[in-house]
Every structure is written in structure tokens, then in C-alpha cells.
Homo-oligomer: A and B are copies of this chain.
Amino acid sequence: MSQDRVFATYHIETPYDLEYAAKVMAGEQSTGTFIAVPGETEELKDKFSAKVVSIEELEVVSTPTLPGSKPPKGSNGSISYHRGKVVLSFPLHNFGPSIPNLLATVAGNLYELREFSGLRLMDLELPHAFMEKYPGPKFGIEGTRKLANVYNRPFIGTIVKPSIGLTPDELRVVVRDLALAGIDFIKDDELNANPPYAPLKNRVKAVMEEIERVADKTGKKVMYAFNITDDIDQLERNHETVVKAGGTCVMVGINSVGLAGVAHLRKYSEVPIHGHRNQWGAMTRCPQLGMEFTAYQKMCRLAGVDHLHCNALDSKFYESNESVIKSVKDCITPMFDGYTVMPVLSSGQWAGTAPGSYSAMGTIDVMHLAGGGIIGHPGGSEAGVKSMIQGWEAAVSGVSLHEYAKTHFELAQAIEKFGK
């Protein structure tokens, strides 16, 4: 790949022919308008213009997906909307290795062009200059495993419930029970960060005291992802609060603080960054608009996220299993010289979702979060955690869940309760 250009892949839908439409995109996002302006010489155009690398025709539809597209002049009767895959390349020297300015180029005004009734950024290929500027996940998969001392299987984790409203003392009890249950990982809900009714510093104190106390007893220190999402400067103070108390992970709403906010946090962070992607649905759920996860996760990794939410199989969300599997595979595909990120599976999970996840995703380098599947286990949280581990043991060893359950009681209980 060229080391001085950024390659961006789009799916477009347009009432124009694809070749013309691709040229409009390239023009809008580089040397500008089609109207000749003084100073816009051929030499300048050649040096600074985006180039159309390839165009692949996809289907033709008769109804535009998005409003406001304008058919070519002289069109009459029924209009066809051409869908296609377009790859553009942009000279890096137009914007330099800067995530915010990359966004303006590959995902900026072009969404608003009336030549399109659909436009979605699918993928990105970035030159090495980005790697030099943004060193990526500080911990990644290996660093996270080392810190939590969890090897050869997924992290088994959960989210504190109720998501909102627990006092620090109530939270204490929840965390103590989970830590004693042998869980690897606990996280705050994305709705719960630094609320007036239970400020982060009080929550951190309560949680870390419990975690350390259990660790003294059992030798296992749970990784807790504190939701430190907040204004840019408060983010730094929140991070400090967590680290000073011995915390080993911070969580951040990527879209709440922005990729620039994440990259800023990455500069001083001393623990893994657990990346929550709430609001992502707004950017991706319309298939002809916004961004595909393939492109998004690359920018998240570049910004320095160590763990990244991907939904899960059979979740409560709209996302198809096929899309979830693709997201996880995107995350475990190396970027530059690694930039490893741990995919996080959550929503509707229990021991029985392990085999399907493993066979579809082909990795144990995931965080597998279950709520009811752990705390709702008939034998309690400890049995819940055991059942999850057993589910993965069955998956990896290729034994059927039911077969494995014959000799593993907690798994059998989980199947009995959740396996309907």
C-alpha cells in the first residue's frame, strides 16, 4: 500500500452513473468545486486531488434510501438509483496524520451531497504515519491478560445492575459478592459515570476497598472498568482517581468524549481503556448512511482503545448475528504491527452462548459479559461464573454443551434455567 495516501472504501447510492458520482465525492473532499476557481491549476489538482481507485457496480434500486438526492438534469420518468462500491485515495499531505482531520476528509460534508441517496464509509487503509502519531492500545489483549492474570480463556465479566441508583455502600455489596464469586471483570453501566447521587470518587473508594479485600483473601484481583466518561479535563482527574485507588481499568463512552478525547486520554492513561460505543447505532443503523464498524473500529484502535464493545450473538439489540461476528473478526484482525483490541460481548449472554460464539468467531480473546447469566444462576454468582467458564471449555474442546454438562454441574444448572 502507498504510504503517502489514505484509502477509503464507500458504499454509495446515486441517481447518477457511478463514475460521475465517484468523481463528485473525490472533488468535494479534496480540491473542491467543479467550478474552476482562480489558482486551481492542473498542477495543484494533480498534487492535492483525491483519486478514484476503483468502482464496483452493485444492485440498482428504484427508490432512493435517503431524502434530498437530486436526479441529473433532463431525467424524466422513472429514475434508477445505482449502488456501488467505490474506493478513493486521498493524499496524506492534505491533512496529515490527525484523526480529527482524517474524519473531516473521509467522513465529512460528503454525506450531505445531493448527488447521493446513500453514502456509507465502509473501510479505511491508513499509512504508517498514523502509527507514528498514534501508538494505539497501550495494553491490548496481552496487557489486559497480564494485568488481570487471566489466560487461555475469555474474560468472564458482568455489568453492575441496577445500572443506576446504587449508593456506594450498596455497590460495595454487589462488588464483594461478584469478586468472591471469582469473576474476572466488572464494569459500570454506560449510564453511570460521575453522578451527583454517587460521585465517582466515592464509588471508586467503595469498589476498590472491596476488590482489594477479596484479593487479599483469594489472591485474585478483579479488573473493574470505572466509567470515567466526562468533560476533557474532568476525564483526566477521573482517571487519576481510579489509578490512585489501585484501579486497573477505565471505561469511556467513545462517542461521548469523541475519538479525539480517547486519543487524549491514551496519552496519560496508566490502565487499559474499556471502550463503550453507545450512540454508535445512530451512526450505523441505516445501511446506506454513516459508517461500517470495520472503519470505526480501526479509528477506535488508533485512538488507543484496549477493549471494544461489539454486542453479542442473540442480544437484545437490532444487530444481526452475522454483523456481530464480522465486528469481532474485524477487531481480531491485526492493524499495523498489532494494535490488538479485546472485543467485548454483552447482552443476553450466558454459558450456553459460548459454543456458538467460539465456533463463529474463532477466538478466546474476548470479554464475555453476562448479567442474568451470572447473578441469576440458580447456584448464585460463583456458580454462574463457573458455568460460563465451563461453557467455553466445552466450546474449545469441541464437546457438546450437553455432553460437557453431564460432568459439570453448574453448566447443567445454567442449561436448565437459561437454555430454553
A258 within 8 Å of B (CB atoms): yes
CA distance A282 to B288 in the complex (A): 10
Contact status A232-B261, CB under 8 Å: yes
One digit per residue, 1 when the CB lies within 8 angstroms of any chain B CB and 0 when it does not, for chain A 277-318 equals 011111101110111000000000000000000010000111
Contact status B317-A114, CB under 8 Å: yes
Interface range on chain A (Cβ under 8 Å from partner):
35 or more
Query: Assuming the A-B contacts A39-B170, A112-B319, A114-B318, are A164 and B32 also in contact, with contact meaning beta carbons closer than 8 angstroms in the complex?
Result: yes
Query: Assuming the A-B contacts A44-B165, A161-B32, A191-B95, are A231 and B100 also in contact, with contact meaning beta carbons closer than 8 angstroms in the complex?
Result: yes
A142 within 8 Å of B (CB atoms): no
A24 → B minimal CB distance (Å):
10
CA distance A197 to B311 in the complex (A): 41
**Most B C-beta atoms less than 10 A away, residue of A165, A195, A229, A278:** A165
CB contacts under 8 Å to B, within A216-235, are: 229-235
A384 within 8 Å of B (CB atoms): no
CB contacts under 8 Å to B, within A102-120, are: 103-105, 107-114, 116
CA distance A70 to B317 in the complex (A): 9
Query: Assuming the A-B contacts A191-B95, A261-B261, are A114 and B162 also in contact, with contact meaning beta carbons closer than 8 angstroms in the complex?
Result: no
Chain A residues proximal to chain B, CB less than 8 Å: 29-33, 35, 37-40, 44-45, 47-48, 65-70, 92-96, 98-101, 103-105, 107-114, 116, 161-166, 170, 174, 189-197, 229-235, 253, 255-261, 263-264, 267, 278-283, 285-287, 289-291, 311, 316-320, 371-372, 375-376
